Amino acid sequence: MTQPKNLPSSLDIILHEIPGVRMTPKEGRRIRVDSSPDSLPALLELLKGRMGFMHLSAISCVDWPETDEFELIYHVWSYEQKSLVSAHVSISRDPGRFVSVYDIHTPAGFYERDIHEMFGVVFVGSPNLRKFILTSWDGPPPMLKSFDTLGYVNETYGWVDYQPDWLRDVEGKGGGIES
Partner 1 sequence: MRPENYSPVQHPPSHEYELYFGPNHPGIEGNYAIRVRLNGDVIQEAIADGGYLHRGFEKLMEQRLWIQNIALVPRICVPDPVPMEEAYARAVEALGGLEVPERAQWIRVMMLEISRICSHLFTFGGNAATIGLYTNMFWGISMRDLFLDLFEEITGARIYHMYITPGGVRRDLPEGVLDRLEATLDEMERRTPEFEDLFFDNAVVIKRARGTGVISLRDALAWGVTGPNLRGSGLPSDVRRDDPYLVYPDLEFDIPTEVEGDALARMRVRKAEVVQSIRILRQVIERLRGIEGPIRCPLPNPLAWNIPAGEAYTRVESSKGEVGFFAVSDGGPKPYRVHVRGPSQMHAVQVLERVLKGGRLEDVAQIMFSLDACPPEVDR
Partner 2 sequence: MNDQVPVVGEERPETCRAPDAEERSLWRRVMDQFADHCRSRSLFVLHYCTGCGAVELPPTITSRFDMERVGVSPMVTPRQADLLLITGYLSVKTLKRVILSYEQMQSPKYVLGFGSCTINGGMYWNSYATVKRLDQYIPVDGFIAGCMPRPEAVQQVILDLMRRIDSGQANAWRDYYLDYDTYLGRQAALFGEEWHTPTDVVAEARHYGYFGPGTTGVHTARLKNYTEWALNQIPELLPERGRNEKART
Task: Say whether residue 54 binds partner 1 (CB under 8 A).
Answer: yes
Regarding 150 and contact with partner 2 (CB under 8 A), the answer is yes
- Per CB under 8 A, the list member of 18, 58, 167, 170 interacting with partner 1 is 58
Q: Does 136 bind partner 2 (CB under 8 A)?
A: yes
Question: Of 1, 13, 159, 164, which one interacts with partner 2 (CB under 8 A)?
Answer: 159
Q: Indicate the SS3 state at residue 69.
A: strand
Give the β-pairing of 30-35 and 21-26: antiparallel
Q: How far apart are CA 78 and CA 52, in angstroms?
A: 5
Choose among partner 2, partner 1, none what residue 153 binds, the Cβ cut-off being 5 to 8 Å by kind: partner 2
Q: How far is the CB of 29 from partner 1 (least distance, A)?
A: 6
Q: Return the range that interacts with partner 1 (CB under 8 A); candidates 5-13, 33-41, 57-65, 93-101.
A: 57-65
Furthest CA-CA distance within the chain: 75
Assess contact for 47 and 53: CB atoms under 8 A.
Answer: yes
| Distance from C-alpha of 16 to C-alpha of 142, rounded to nearest angstrom | 39
Considering only residues 76 to 105 of the shown chain, the ones binding partner 1 according to CB under 8 A are 77, 79, 82, 84, 86, 105
Q: Does 6 bind partner 2 (CB under 8 A)?
A: no
Please name the residue ranges forming H helices in the chain: 7-16, 40-51, 108-119, 149-157, 165-172
